[in-house]
Structure formats: structure tokens, C-alpha cells
Amino acid sequence: MAGPRIVVVGAGPAGVRAAERLVESGLKPIVFDEACSCGGQIYRRQPGSFTRSYAELYGADADRAKSIHAAFDRILPSVDYRPNTTVWNISGNELFTAADRQGRVVEFDAAILATGATDRMAPVRGWTLPGVYSLGGAQIALKAQACGIGSKIALLGTGPLLYLVACQYSKAGIDVQAVLDTAPLPAQLLATRQLLAKPGLLMRGVHLRLRLMSKGIPVHNGVRSPEIVGPERVTGVRWRGADGTSESVDADAVALGFHVRSEAQLADLAGCPFSFDEQMRQWRPDCDATGRTPRPGIYLAGDCIRILGGHAAEIAGRLAAISAMADHGIVTAAREAAVLTRRLRSYQRFQKALTNAFPWPEAEIRKLPDDVIVCRCEAITAGELRKAAVVMGAAELNRAKAFSRVGMGRCQGRYCASAAAQILSDARNLPLEAVGRIRTQAPVKPLTIALERVES
């Protein structure tokens, strides 16, 4: 049937469930996936020649992972699946893709953006040393490459992923020296009651912690002034404890991350408005509870809207598919949508509790010394950024970028913009939201000049 052209960007839990729901209604969506096979970051599949079991790879998430992979395998004949494909731009009702050296332009009537999340990074002294990885990167090494980032590692940052990756590394037989969480313990205890919104997920968190304890892996809460040390590559981590005492641990690699942040660049390029989320302390694209944005034809699903995690992303994927189809007169699954929306809401309560339990370390970033690099791509220090703010008069992030080059490099601010905004707001004595956010510019990821345009 010549139905509306609905495309899905991303094949993680949100993208897979969106595609599945579209197929259920008889559509044949195009699914773009940056990876070589479905699963997204959370349920990333191992290379075909690897033979680890689901339980080994995904632990408590094994059933979920299996279900997502199976669902996608089932609908594969009914979707136009394009793996290894980056959607690098969106303009009007056209997507621009790059796969290997082939560039295509794909017209759509509705696009469901399920672009997920990346590590939310905060700079610490020494974070540019060889041997420092993001938490997500450390996890990819295990899942997709079956190797660790080091043989004796420390994990530094905050968020549920910190504990999950620690357990995964420990289980893989790698020596985990310490888990260093900047979140103070009282905040986590206080949040416990709210975390009961999802008792199952709370229990998994508790379980992770108990596992670390049983393995004798030290967990430090309320870590202050952390520094990754080593003259040429990582040799350890130094920090001050909650009571001010100086502590240190040896490590040959560090996994660093402060929860995750939405990957919403495509939504920005598509023209979706953004609002500041006071709870998450970040900007996020506007959309209703079912993923419908103010920009006609653009729908969002999963962690690219806000970080609710993989389970919620599955629900959001189906919801966005229903919204897109409802707007194009294909289905009116109002009851189904209502049920899904209600289920999604409980994750939002849980998420609020999580951000309370693992707060973004604003105070740590504010006191970052001038000589610490904030923007890794362009090697811009906190001092240079402060100079752009105070001496050159930049009171807004794009202005600070223009003056200092912060956020101007390959990653386009993915890994520095959160911290840069924090430093700028501090230097100018402005609320975080007042310094704005870096405007997305194409390409979403670096685009090879060798790209040849081919007809889709």
C-alpha cells in the first residue's frame, strides 16, 4: 500500500518498538541505524562471530535485550532497514544520510527520531590522559569488542551506569579498584522513597551495590575534587572524601561519566523548540506525552527527549508510532495510547528521583581550576572559557563558543557543552538556563568529503 512515508531514526529500544508498531499497522518504515545491527547502546549486539550468551552480555536485562532483538528480527522483512547509516542532517521533509561513502536524500511524511543518549561528561583534571574512557565507551568495549579498557580500573562520576559498568567489569574478571561517586550518600538515601515508583528498578540498583560489596569493591560517595593522575597515561585517581580527607587509588584506566544526556541534535536541526528542564538541569526538545513535537511531521521517542532509560524508551517508541499514524489518518489507537502514556508516567517519577540521587556535580565544575581542559576537541581550558565570559563579554554559550572555540570541534559540544554552560553561568553569575545552549549545526556527526550522492 502507498501509505505515508514514515521513517525511524535509531534502532535502540525506542526505534525498534516504533518500527514494530508501524509494521503492526501494515506500514513498511525505513529504519536508519548508525550501528551494524539493532539494539542501540543499551542492547548493543555483539559481532556475529562472538558467542557470549544473553545472560553474560546483558545480565538482568537479558530478557529485554532478547525481546528487542527478536522483535526486530521478526519485522525485518517488513522494514527497509539501513544499518551503518548516519542521518547527518534534516531539512524540510528530507533526511540526509551517509553510509560508507554514499549519500542519500530520503523524503518523509513523518520522522520518528529515536536518537538516544550519550555520556554526560564533566571535566576533571587529567580527563584527557590516555586511558580515560567514558562509561558508555567502557561498556561498548565489553559488549561489542569483548575487551576491557584496562586491567585495573577505577570508575568515576555519578549515575546508575557507574554501578552497572562496575559490576559488568567485575563480572568480566577485570580488577575494579574503586567506584567513585560524586553524589553524596544522603542524597541517595533521601531519594530511595521516590525511587519506589519503580520498585523493580530500585531493587536492581540495590542489587548492583550489594554485588560490588560482596566482591569487596570499595564504593566512595560524596567524592570531591577528583583528579585523574599520571604523567603520560592514567596511573590512578586522587580525590577528597566527604569529610575532606585526601584519598587515592591506583588504576591503569578510568571510566568517567555523569549520567547521560539526550542526543537531540536532529530534533534541533528539524526545527523543534527546546525548553530548559529544571530537574535535569539540561535543555530538551518540546513534545507532548506521546512524542508529538510542535514541528509537523517530527516525532520523538526515548532518551533523546529526556533520560528515562531503556524500558521507558520501548513504551515511548510505540507511542510515537501511534501519534505519527494517528496524524496521518492510519490508526486512532486512543485507548492504547492512553495506557502507554500512563505507564510512561511512572518512569518519569522514577527519573526525577534518579536525578536527585545522582545530581549533576555543579559545585565541582564551578571550582574547576583554570588550567583544566573543558573542550577536548579544541583543547580549550576553563580559564580560556572564563576569559571569553568575563574579558570578552560572552554571556551566552554560542557567544562563548565564537570567542573561545569551546564546543567548536568534532563533537560539536556533545561532551563539553554541559560543563561549559555551568562554567559560563558561574563566571557571569547567571542562572544556568540564561546562558542558553549550543545551537546544533549540521552535520550531526563528521561527514566525509568523499561522500557521493546516490539516488535512494
Partner 1 sequence: MSAADVVVIGGGIVGTAATLFLQRRGLSVILLERGLIGQQASGVSFANVRRHTRPLHQLPLAQRSYDSWMRLSSLIGDTCEFRQVGNLAVTYGNAQLEHWEQYVRAARDYGLELEILDPLRLRTRFPYLSKNIAAGLFSPKDGHANPRLLVPAISRAAEREGARIVLNAEVTSIDRNADRFDVAVGGHAEYRAPIVLIAAGAWAGKFVAALDGPVPLFASGPQLGVTEPLPYRIGPTISVFADRVPERIYLRQVERGNIVFGGGDRGPASTETNRASVLPTNTLGQITQLQRLVPALSTANVIRVWSGIEGYLPDALPVMGASSRVRGLYYAFGFSGSGFQLGLGVGDVLSELICTGHTDVPLCQYDIRRFQPATPKSAPGSTRPS
Q: Cell numbers for 259, please give them.
A: 549520567
Task: Please report how close the Cβ of residue 396 comes to partner 1 at its closest, in angstroms.
Answer: 8
Task: Please report how close the Cβ of residue 437 comes to partner 1 at its closest, in angstroms.
Answer: 16
2 binds partner 1, rule: CB under 8 A: no
430 binds partner 1, rule: CB under 8 A: no
CA distance 310 to 127: 28
Residue span 344-383 as binding mask against partner 1, x where in contact by CB under 8 A, dash where not:
----------------------------------x-----
Task: Please report how close the Cβ of residue 441 comes to partner 1 at its closest, in angstroms.
Answer: 5
Nearer to partner 1, 357 or 451 (CB): 451
Q: Cell numbers for 48, please give them.
A: 556475529
Structural contact between residues 283 and 437, judged by C-beta atoms closer than 8 angstroms? yes
Q: Rounded to 5 degrees, what angle do the CA atoms 214, 311, 357 make? A: 55
Cell 528498578 belongs to 201
CA distance 137 to 157: 14
Burial class (CB in 10 A: 0-12, 13-18, 19+), 85: buried
- Give the pairing of strands 94-99 and 282-285: unpaired
The only residue of 29, 40, 103, 157 in contact with partner 1, by rule CB under 8 A: 103
Structural contact between residues 144 and 47, judged by C-beta atoms closer than 8 angstroms? yes
Task: Please report how close the Cβ of residue 376 comes to partner 1 at its closest, in angstroms.
Answer: 13
Paired with 40 in beta bridges are none
Nearer to partner 1, 345 or 399 (CB): 399
The only residue of 49, 77, 449, 455 in contact with partner 1, by rule CB under 8 A: 449
Single out the segment in contact with partner 1 by CB under 8 A; choices: 113-121, 135-143, 359-367, 441-449. 441-449
In degrees to the nearest 10, what's the CA dihedral of 17, 18, 20, 26? 160
Taking the chain, what is the end-to-end CA distance rounded to the nearest angstrom?
19
**Contact set for partner 1, span 201-230 (CB under 8 A):** none
Cell 547567571 belongs to 430
Task: Please report how close the Cβ of residue 394 comes to partner 1 at its closest, in angstroms.
Answer: 9
**Contact set for partner 1, span 73-92 (CB under 8 A):** 88-89, 91
Single out the segment in contact with partner 1 by CB under 8 A; choices: 18-26, 172-180, 282-290, 439-447. 439-447
Task: Please report how close the Cβ of residue 149 comes to partner 1 at its closest, in angstroms.
Answer: 24
102 binds partner 1, rule: CB under 8 A: no
Identify the CA nearest to 61 among candidates 153, 161, 147.
Answer: 161
Helices within 250-396 (DSSP H only): 265-269, 310-327, 334-357, 362-366, 382-390
- Cis preceding-peptide flag for 443 (omega within 30 of 0): yes
Nearer to partner 1, 172 or 442 (CB): 442
The only residue of 140, 289, 430, 442 in contact with partner 1, by rule CB under 8 A: 442
Nearer to partner 1, 86 or 351 (CB): 86
Q: Cell numbers for 303, please give them.
A: 532518551
Q: In what order do the strands lie in the sheet with 94-99?
A: 85-91, 94-99, 102-107, 452-453
CA distance 51 to 397: 47
Cell 542521518 belongs to 87
Single out the segment in contact with partner 1 by CB under 8 A; choices: 188-196, 314-322, 423-431, 446-454. 446-454
Q: How many positions of this chain bind partner 1 (CB under 8 A)?
A: 27
412 binds partner 1, rule: CB under 8 A: yes
Identify the CA nearest to 174 among candidates 147, 144, 135.
Answer: 147
Q: Cell numbers for 196, please give them.
A: 519506589
**Contact set for partner 1, span 382-411 (CB under 8 A):** 392-393, 399, 402-403, 408-410
The only residue of 56, 63, 73, 94 in contact with partner 1, by rule CB under 8 A: 94
CA distance 171 to 167: 6
Residue span 156-195 as binding mask against partner 1, x where in contact by CB under 8 A, dash where not:
----------------------------------------
Nearer to partner 1, 2 or 450 (CB): 450
Nearer to partner 1, 2 or 449 (CB): 449
Task: Please report how close the Cβ of residue 86 comes to partner 1 at its closest, in angstroms.
Answer: 11
448 binds partner 1, rule: CB under 8 A: yes
Single out the segment in contact with partner 1 by CB under 8 A; choices: 149-157, 177-185, 288-296, 436-444. 436-444
Length in residues, the chain: 456
Structural contact between residues 79 and 31, judged by C-beta atoms closer than 8 angstroms? yes
Instruction: Enumerate binding residues for partner 1 (CB under 8 A).
Output: 88-89, 91, 94, 96, 103, 105, 378, 392-393, 399, 402-403, 408-410, 412, 441-443, 446-451, 453
